[in-house]
Chain A
Amino acid sequence: MSRLYTQEHEWIDVDGSTATVGITDYAQGQLGDVVFVDLPESGRAVTKGGEAAVVESVKAASDVYAPVSGTVTEANPALADDPSLVNSAPEGDGWFFKLTLSDASELDGLMDKAAYEAFVASL
């Protein structure tokens, strides 16, 4: 399983034709205290770069984009009870949703960890 990153600060763990998506530690730090996550329903089709979820901090609502196209299979049920998991464990228990990939070649343009860290350092 390999983890890839977008310039929009989402991460994606790919395991065969399925993947898990969340936002990065850098992203949660920028958002501040997360108080609600509006997650996609199972079965919803998402497109690479399209809106997939909304994360609400105390101050503002921010869109979260799908790193690749596919069909959502599960939204993280733990975030309904404890949205602060996005702050405390953004790249672990604070994952957003799982999906089945419709086009694995879309992964090609994403960054690996080293490239993402260099990207964040350049911001």
Chain B
Amino acid sequence: MADDADLKPLPLDGLHRRLGARIVPFAGYAMPIQYEGIIAEHNWTREQAGLFDVSHMGQLLVEGEGAADWLESLAPGDFKALQPHRVRYSLLLADNGGVLDDLMVTNTGRSLYLVVNGATKHDDIAHMQARLPAGISLHHMTDHALLALQGPAAVAVMSRFTLTPETANQPAFADLKFMAGARYQWNGVLIGVTRSGYTGEDGYEISVPSTHAEALAEALLAHAEVKPIGLGARDSLRLEAGLPLYGHDLTPEITPVEADLSFAISKRRKTEGGFPGAARILDQLFNGAPRKRVGLAIEGRMPAREGATVWNGDTQVGIVTSGGFAPSLSVPIAMAYVETPLAGDGTALEIDVRGRRIAARVVPMPFRQKNYVREGKQG
């Protein structure tokens, strides 16, 4: 822990420590990995509501005439058709079609609000700045924290807050649908709320001035349904939900088609192209990619971790990019890239774990909604 001094604290650092979090280094920040335990926190989020501090993520505002057109030169979404107060998942692409980052894009009506990964935000900003034309500005909202409230009780909890739309043309909080967002006055503070998240649960991400982040977190935690949740459970929740994690399941060597994220290439862009790597990506889209991201159900209880090799008989056919124990399913699960002919649901494969072969089977993702759902057993 000697390098703790080099880590930047989050705006909620004091609160995390008071709540008994175990703090670890992540993306250059001192971050809470867990409070009472990953399994308990994971299950609480699935059953009630979990509060996550994701302030390490980058919040960016793109403003100026033609901002949507410009973003379309970097990512394959149809941002010109993105309606005000709607949110889209997208991908920042390299010239060879590899994924530089995944991000959320919200049309605020005045600007495009982007949320990018914490570990990649500085590279993302440099990438964007280098391609920024005159008349469009890029602002890094370093004075804002980002909280996520996720779980089936999230809507009920947030509905108890008095949230007044910033302007009359923004949706009332009660009308905020999944993948929509708007700005609200809360206690005299302007907060940006999107109904989104990365846990496979309903909920919100809330952008709040850092100076008011602790007051908002405390106000949320005052509700009996809400507990603080660390990065550990965030990882197990997103894995069960089949959501890829940048730096692990997504890298500059992987294309959106290989990542099974073709849904993020909007219909118009599939016809028109015009995004980085379009030739390669559209060729893969129409003619097939050599490999594909799949979910693997693993026989037995021994988890397979990132880096474990995937085999079909004597031939290595893939590699695990995320793997662990699924608390809601009480079994190990993994994401892997495998050769496309072996990516079909039900394909029997093997994973090498410490020199031993364990049986695995390709299954559809998300793991939780579509497969063997049973009560999570307290580990």
> A residues within 8 Å of B by Cβ?
32-36, 38, 54, 56-61, 80, 83-84, 87
Contact = CB atoms under 8 A, between A and B. Distances in A.
Given A33-B38, A34-B379, A58 B302 contact: no
A83 B34 CA distance: 20
Given A58-B236, A84-B379, A35 B303 contact: yes
Nearest to B301: A36
A32 B354 CA distance: 22
B305 A60 contact: yes
Interface size class of B (residues with CB under 8 A): 20 to 34
A14 B354 CA distance: 29
Which of B34, B39, B332 has the most C-beta atoms of chain A within 10 angstroms of its own C-beta? B39
Contact of A58 (B301, B324, B354): B324
A36 B325 CA distance: 9
Contacts of B378: 84
Contacts of A59: 33, 38, 232, 235-236, 324
A38 B358 CA distance: 13
17 contacts: A32-B34, A32-B38, A33-B37, A33-B327, A33-B379, A35-B301, A36-B302, A36-B332, A54-B354, A56-B302, A56-B303, A57-B38, A58-B236, A59-B33, A59-B324, A61-B303, A84-B379
Given A32-B37, A38-B302, A59-B235, 8 more contacts: A33-B37, A34-B379, A36-B301, A36-B332, A38-B354, A56-B303, A59-B236, A83-B379
Nearest to B331: A35
Interface in B343-379: 354, 378-379
Interface string B26-51: 00000001100111001000000000
A35 B37 CA distance: 12
Contacts of B324: 58-59
A58 B327 contact: yes
Contacts of A33: 37-39, 327, 379
A80 B301 CA distance: 9
Interface in B290-307: 301-303, 305
Kindly list the 4 A-B residue pairs having the minimum CB-CB distance in the complex, ordered from nearest.
A35-B325, A58-B38, A33-B39, A33-B379
Interface in B271-307: 301-303, 305
Contacts of A32: 34, 37-38, 232
A122 to B, nearest CB: 12
Nearest to B233: A58
A60 B42 CA distance: 16
Contacts of B236: 58-59
Most B Cβ at <10 Å: residue of A54, A59, A87: A59
A56 B232 contact: no
Contacts of B37: 32-33
A87 B236 CA distance: 19
Contacts of B302: 36, 38, 56
A56 B325 contact: yes
B324 to A, nearest CB: 6
Contacts of A35: 301, 303, 325, 332, 379
Contacts of B39: 33, 58
B38 A61 contact: no
A57 B302 CA distance: 10
Contacts of B332: 35-36
Nearest to A58: B38
A36 B303 contact: yes
Most buried by A among B34, B236, B324, B332: B324
Contacts of B303: 35-36, 56, 61
